[in-house]
Each structure stands twice: as structure tokens, then as C-alpha cells.
């Protein structure tokens, strides 16, 4: 590693010394909270700390679509307000009133509530009888103060996402810290392993519209569906989606890029949002293969994703770009874990590189995987349109992609059944003799 690289890595090292060697990657499972739909929410708080928590929640990606306003004054302010204004989709009322008075205020509030408006009460007493009384009166949820931003988001998610009727998939976005670092390769292999190991449906959405390699990598001549969906997202439904996807295996489908250069691709962040939302309503895992570009829609996909994987080659430019990405994501997604890091093409012959330990320390992220440069395996697999596992299940990278897939899905590898020892038949005989 050059002096320059070394000092840059060092500068960025914020006093942490991550013990990378031998450390097992074990990311905490993210919150199960799901995005809240486009609803209007008005809150009337009594305690400034509650107002602060709700305000913090409004900055979260899961509330990006809803309109939230936070007022003070508790139940009396809410009652006064709705005497004159129509009620929103959801009213949140914090109250420290004694039980009888609380119920009277809520009854008054109910008089001006439009049908379809839900009410959530934040109270300061843990009382089952009160809870039952509130539910009997049609209150959707009773939360006990003090509440944190994430607890509030989870409660809303529970109200608006019914796990029985709304299958909502996880969006995993893959981006390279630079072009050509293997981000698409990592995305496709991880997605494929996920579909095989978890026996779960996975869609790879190729958002590299002009140069995407998903069709090539899976040896398909796909319907180039994603541009059509992005052009008129309002037309996309389950039936059209089915037509636009190309099935690669029993459980893996690709939403392929057109890969032609005679048209302009003006993708809007909203169109991207809508399309990915519809895909995630239909499959449990959506792997989004992002190009290495920086546009409003790329940023939006990253900020909204459930998991993010940054693939980087261990050199200085990758480190700088990855650091910028990580900083932005940590800052804008403060209720989520940091993005995941995959270091790729490590130990490329004759290339000086930043050590994994230094790279990880500078980013303050333990890499999920460190994949070595292996031109033969990767080159042959790519040329044959195969995944690494299909091409060579014994390759080190094949095992690494399996581990990556499980880690991204927050699952552990199923324990292999113990092979019987070579001595087993003899031991068995001895036991019979006894």
C-alpha cells in the first residue's frame, strides 16, 4: 500500500480498530417495520419528548411517503382542531389525563372523526382495563410513553401492513464503489444462492438500463421488461409484471434491462419507487442491480432499500467512494444498520492494495465477505452464462456467495447432518456382541 493510500486510510479511521481477522460477520436483523403507505398523520402530543420522537420518526425512510404533522396540546387541542378541520387518515393523541377524563375527551374527538380515520393513543399508564376500554371504543392502538421513534414506526407498520394479506418483500440494493468492481456479479450470485438455499422466490431487477449484464450472466435472452415498467409505472400490476419477468430457474426471475443505446433513459425516482413497490408485493426478495452512477433515482433506491451491499475493490478510489456512500447512508438512515460491505478482487496478482483491515477500519464496517480475485473461475462462469456455484461448486467464492445470501436474508446455514464415522459399523458390531 502506498504512503498516500496509507495516510488517507488512516485519516479516515475514526479511532476504531476493528479486529477483522477471524471475526464472524453477524449483522443484527433489521426491524420488521414496513413502509407506511401514502397517508396523512396528525399528532397531538403533551410531552415534548414524545413530539421529538415522532418528529424523528418522520425522517425515517419508512415514513417517506406519508405526510406527518406534529402539534402540542394533547387531546383537547385535537378536539378543538377537528371541530373545524376534516380528520386525516390517522390521529395520534398523547394524553396524561386520568382515565375518566381521557375517555370523555376521546368520545368528543370521535364525534368529529370521519369514518376511516384511525386513532392511536399514547398514554402514560400501563393499564389493561384501560387498553380494553379504548379498543372497545375503536382506538386502533394504545402505546405507553416514553416511546422511541422506531417503536412508533413499528406500531404504525403493524397498523397498515397485515402480514396475512400483504406479502411485502425485502429490497436488497447492490452498488459498486466504482465501475467494474463486480457489483453485478455479487448481486446475481447472491440472488441465485438465495433462491436456491432459502427455496424462496427472488427477482433480480437490473437498473443498468443501457449496459446491464443480467441477461448475459443468466444465459437468457430475456424480455427486456424493466424499461417498459419504468415508463408507465401506473400500468404495472401483477399480470403485467408476470409478462415482463423472465424466469431463469424455478424460483429466480429477472427483470431485465433493454441494453440498447438508441433511446434515452430518463428514470424518475417516483417511477422507480412505484415499480419496486409492486415487485416487492409479489416476491419475498428483490435484488436490485444498480449501475455505478449517482442520480436522484439511484439515491432514492439506496435510501429506501431494506439492505444495501456496497462492493469495493481494495484501492484508494474505492475507499474514498465507499466512505462517501457509507457516510451518506449512515446519516440518512439512522434507524437502520450501516450498509454491508463486500470486498471483491482481493489479492489481485501484482496489484498493490489497501489491506482489508485498513479498508474496514476506515469505513468502520466489518466486510460481509472478502472475495479474492479468481479470473479463471469468474471469467469462465461469466462466459458460460453460469453462476459460480453452477460452474464450480467447490470454488471458494461459491461458498462465500452462499454465506452472503444467508447473511443478507438473516438466516444461518442449515447444519449438515453428521456423517457416520468410519468406525461406526465396527462399534455397532461391538455393541451387538455386548
In angstroms, give the least distance from the CB of 289 to Mg ion.
6
Alpha-carbon distances, residue 269 vs 93, 233, 298, 357 (angstroms)? 34, 11, 8, 36
Of the pair 292, 411, the CB lying nearest ligand ATP is at 292
Of the pair 176, 225, the CB lying nearest ligand ATP is at 176
Contact yes or no for 134/107 (Cβ under 8 A):
no
Contact yes or no for 291/257 (Cβ under 8 A):
no
In angstroms, give the least distance from the CB of 372 to ligand ATP.
6
Residue 374 binding: pick among ligand ATP, Mg ion, none (C-beta 5-8 Å cut-off by kind): ligand ATP
Helices (H), 232-355: 238-244, 269-282, 296-304, 316-332
Of the pair 260, 426, the CB lying nearest Mg ion is at 260
In angstroms, give the least distance from the CB of 376 to ligand ATP.
8
Q: Given CA atoms 121, 126, 128, 130 in this order, what sign does their dihedral have? A: negative
Of the pair 155, 345, the CB lying nearest ligand ATP is at 345
In angstroms, give the least distance from the CB of 210 to Mg ion.
11
Task: Give me the residues that bind ligand ATP (CB under 6 A), please.
Answer: 176, 179-185, 208, 211, 213, 291-292, 344-345, 371, 373-375, 378, 382
DSSP-derived secondary structure for 223-247: ---HHHHHH-GGG--HHHHHHH-EE
Of the pair 94, 206, the CB lying nearest Mg ion is at 206
Of the pair 42, 369, the CB lying nearest Mg ion is at 369
In angstroms, give the least distance from the CB of 397 to ligand ATP.
6
In whole angstroms, give the CA distance from residue 252 to residue 314.
31
In whole angstroms, give the CA distance from residue 119 to residue 83.
16
Task: Give me the residues that bind Mg ion (CB under 5 A), please.
Answer: 184
Residue 95 binding: pick among ligand ATP, Mg ion, none (C-beta 5-8 Å cut-off by kind): none
Maximum distance among all Cα pairs of the chain, rounded to whole angstroms: 92
Alpha-carbon distances, residue 390 vs 278, 384, 398 (angstroms)? 30, 10, 9
In angstroms, give the least distance from the CB of 351 to ligand ATP.
12
Closest residue by Cα to residue 364 from 17, 30, 1, 29: 17
Residue 401 binding: pick among ligand ATP, Mg ion, none (C-beta 5-8 Å cut-off by kind): none
Amino acid at each position: 500500500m502506498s504512503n498516500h493510500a496509507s495516510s488517507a486510510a488512516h485519516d479516515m479511521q475514526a479511532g476504531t480498530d476493528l479486529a477483522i481477522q477471524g471475526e464472524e460477520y453477524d449483522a443484527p436483523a433489521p426491524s420488521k417495520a414496513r413502509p407506511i403507505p401514502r397517508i396523512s398523520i396528525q399528532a397531538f402530543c403533551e410531552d415534548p419528548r414524545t413530539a421529538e420522537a415522532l418528529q424523528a420518526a418522520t425522517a425515517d425512510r419508512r415514513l417517506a411517503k406519508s405526510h406527518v404533522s406534529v402539534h402540542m396540546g394533547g387531546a383537547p387541542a385535537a378536539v378543538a382542531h377537528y371541530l373545524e378541520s376534516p380528520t386525516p387518515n390517522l390521529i395520534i393523541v398523547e394524553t396524561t389525563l386520568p382515565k375518566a377524563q381521557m375517555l370523555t375527551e376521546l368520545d368528543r374527538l370521535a364525534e368529529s372523526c370521519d369514518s376511516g380515520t384511525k386513532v392511536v393513543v399514547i398514554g402514560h399508564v400501563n393499564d389493561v382495563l384501560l387498553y380494553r376500554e379504548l379498543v372497545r371504543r375503536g382506538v386502533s392502538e394504545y402505546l405507553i410513553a416514553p416511546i422511541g421513534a422506531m417503536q412508533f414506526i413499528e406500531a404504525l407498520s403493524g397498523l397498515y401492513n397485515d402480514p396475512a394479506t400483504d406479502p411485502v418483500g425485502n429490497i436488497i440494493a447492490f452498488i459498486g464503489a466504482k465501475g467494474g468492481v463486480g457489483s453485478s456479479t455479487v448481486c446475481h450470485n447472491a440472488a441465485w444462492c438465495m433462491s436456491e438455499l432459502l427455496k424462496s422466490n427472488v427477482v433480480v431487477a437490473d437498473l443498468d438500463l443501457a449496459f446491464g449484464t443480467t441477461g448475459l450472466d443468466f444465459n437468457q435472452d430475456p424480455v427486456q421488461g424493466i424499461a417498459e415498467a419504468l415508463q408507465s409505472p401506473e400500468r404495472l400490476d401483477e399480470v403485467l409484471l408476470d409478462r415482463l419477468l423472465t424466469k431463469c430457474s424455478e424460483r429466480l426471475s429477472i427483470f431485465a434491462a433493454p441494453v440498447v443505446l438508441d433511446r434515452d433513459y430518463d428514470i424518475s425516482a417516483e417511477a422507480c419507487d412505484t415499480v419496486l413497490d409492486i415487485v416487492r408485493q409479489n416476491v419475498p426478495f428483490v435484488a436490485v442491480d444498480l449501475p455505478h452512477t449517482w442520480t436522484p433515482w439511484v439515491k432514492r433506491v439506496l435510501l429506501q432499500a431494506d439492505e444495501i451491499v456496497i462492493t469495493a475493490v481494495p484501492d484508494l478510489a474505492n475507499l474514498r467512494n465507499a466512505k462517501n456512500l457509507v457516510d451518506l447512508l449512515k446519516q440518512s438512515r439512522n434507524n437502520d444498520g450501516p450498509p454491508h460491505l463486500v470486498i471483491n478482487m482481493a489479492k489481485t496478482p501484482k496489484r498493490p492494495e489497501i489491506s482489508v483491515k485498513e479498508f474496514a477500519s476506515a469505513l468502520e464496517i466489518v466486510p460481509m465477505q472478502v472475495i479474492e480475485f479468481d479470473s479463471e473461475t469468474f471469467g469462465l462462469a461469466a462466459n458460460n452464462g453460469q453462476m459460480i456455484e453452477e460452474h464450480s461448486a467447490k470454488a471458494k467464492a461459491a461458498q462465500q456467495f452462499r454465506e452472503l445470501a444467508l447473511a443478507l436474508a438473516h438466516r444461518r446455514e442449515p447444519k449438515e447432518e453428521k456423517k457416520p464415522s468410519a468406525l461406526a459399523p465396527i462399534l455397532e458390531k461391538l455393541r451387538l456382541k455386548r
